[in-house]
Amino acid sequence: MNRKNNEKAPWVVVAGGVHRHGGTDKANFALVEYLLRREIPVYVVTHQIDQTLLRYPTIRVALVPIPLKSTFAGEKLLALRGGQILRRTLGKYPGARIIANGGNCVAPDINWVHRVHHAWAPETVNAPWIHRLKHRMAVASARRTELRSLRTARLIIANSELTRSHLIELIGVDPGIVQTVYLGAESNWVPPLPSERLASRARFEQSHDRPIVVFIGAIGYDNNKGMDTLLNAWGQLCRNRNWDADLFIAGDGRALREWQVMVDKSDFRHRVRFLGFTEEVHELLSAADLLVSPVRYESYGLNVQEALCRGVPSIVSANAGIAERYPSHLRDLLLQDPEDAGDLVFRMLMWRSGIDYWRNRVIEFSKELRIYGWPQMAERLYSLATRDPHRVKDSATAHVVTGILK
């Protein structure tokens, strides 16, 4: 008997990262782990992978370097290597499934979109000229590859209804082949017990009577995460003698040093702590009282979801993907304009005036989010990606990822 008839067709996953750090990377990790647990062969093409996945006998990994830490060069190599492996795999296994992330590889099968460059890719950034030049090149390249990849895909997965609408309106994809599945939650990231909360605050050397406001996100020159709006609002708040909270900023990026210098020169320098990149997000959220995310563009917002799972009220821009999941009783936590520092001040004062009230208000939403974990997300993706394509199109519903073969 032909050996290929006895072997399961593999999945090829082309992804920048497949590990537990970072939203897109966590999602890729969850899918790959799900497939491996089903004993499905998986060929992973990536820059970085969680070592725990290597214990599975059905995984094959092609690690792609990032030359001189250049994201642009790394993406080009990832696309090249991914294309080579998918062509080789399809030649041997015509039934193999291929999944790319956005424009990182042109693959005529599944595309899992976590960001739409045509929705947010600023032409200018506040950065040294060399970074501005690189940024313009990267934006142009990202938009070109995004168009090619999405118009080649036969199944498109969106991580929010916001992303789905951008794909249809800005890229022009057929609405029948793109639907939505939300990112999974950390089901075990529950609101902390009082003892855990006290221990976490002690770990961050914060007294029990001073509230902690946290910001979690990349700090790049494009300022997509709204650091300027946050620190503008923070300066105004710190001029209020009744404002008693401290700000913890967790994240890294090329613009980090500039923001540190700015804060060091400010009157509120003793009220801000830069943590840099940290793997202690779970502990930080255990200690936190509020998360603030005044993003200009966010296809979903896993940092917000994780905070809510831990019972932390979260102020986020109303145009973020996660905002569409907020229940009506939490809508006052949505920032209508990420440029409006005054509105952010208002909402943070509103929260501070009822800190226990808002913590209690997010508890039910926290439970709702945690019911739908990473395994459930992966199961939906797998089920809908492998069912009959015509049934997928006919059963299109919100919050479920689907796709068809044209």
| Residue in the structure block whose two tokens are 């296809």 | 299
Compute the distance between CA of residue 55 and CA of residue 123 in angstroms, rounded to an integer.
44
Angle in degrees, CA 193, 326, 395, rounded to 5 = 115
- Give the pLDDT score at 78: 96
Give backbone dihedrals phi and psi of 317, rounded to 5 degrees, phi first: -60, 140
Compute the distance between CA of residue 189 and CA of residue 286 in angstroms, rounded to an integer.
9
Residues 233 and 352 in one domain: yes
Return the higher-pLDDT residue of 220 and 170.
170
Determine, yes or no, domain membership for 251. Answer: yes
Residues 277 and 149 in one domain: no
Q: For the chain, how big is the Rg over CA atoms in Å? A: 22
Domain with 228 in it: what CATH number?
3.40.50.2000
Determine, yes or no, domain membership for 404. Answer: no
**Of 273, 297, 303, 292, the residue nearest 348 (C-alpha):** 292
Q: What is the pLDDT of residues 233-287, one digit of tens each?
A: 999 999 999 999 999 999 999 899 999 999 999 999 999 999 999 989 999 999 9
Residues 132 and 217 in one domain: no
Please, which pLDDT band fits residue 1 given cuts at 50, 70 and 90? very low
CB atoms within 10 A of CB 240: 11
Determine, yes or no, domain membership for 402. Answer: no
- Give the pLDDT score at 322: 98
Residues 34 and 147 in one domain: yes
**Residue 375 corresponds to which tokens in the numbers above?**
């395994």
Return the higher-pLDDT residue of 129 and 371.
371
Determine, yes or no, domain membership for 405. Answer: no
Determine, yes or no, domain membership for 403. Answer: no
Domain that holds residue 164: 3-184+372-394
Compute the distance between CA of residue 347 and CA of residue 341 in angstroms, rounded to an integer.
10
Q: Are 266 and 331 within 8 A, CB to CB?
A: no
Residues 152 and 200 in one domain: no
Residues 237 and 169 in one domain: no
Q: Are 158 and 167 within 8 A, CB to CB?
A: yes
Our count of domains for the chain comes to 2
Residues 158 and 251 in one domain: no
Residues 381 and 356 in one domain: no
Q: What percent of the chain has pLDDT over 70?
A: 92
Q: Are 213 and 248 within 8 A, CB to CB?
A: yes
Please, which pLDDT band fits residue 123 given cuts at 50, 70 and 90? low
Residues 159 and 290 in one domain: no
Q: What is the pLDDT of residues 135-154, one digit of tens each?
A: 778 788 889 999 999 999 99
Name the strands in the sheet holding 59-63, side by side, starting at the edge strand that comes first in the sequence. Answer: 59-63, 42-46, 11-14, 97-100, 110-113, 155-158, 178-180
Residues 179 and 221 in one domain: no
Please, which pLDDT band fits residue 388 given cuts at 50, 70 and 90? low
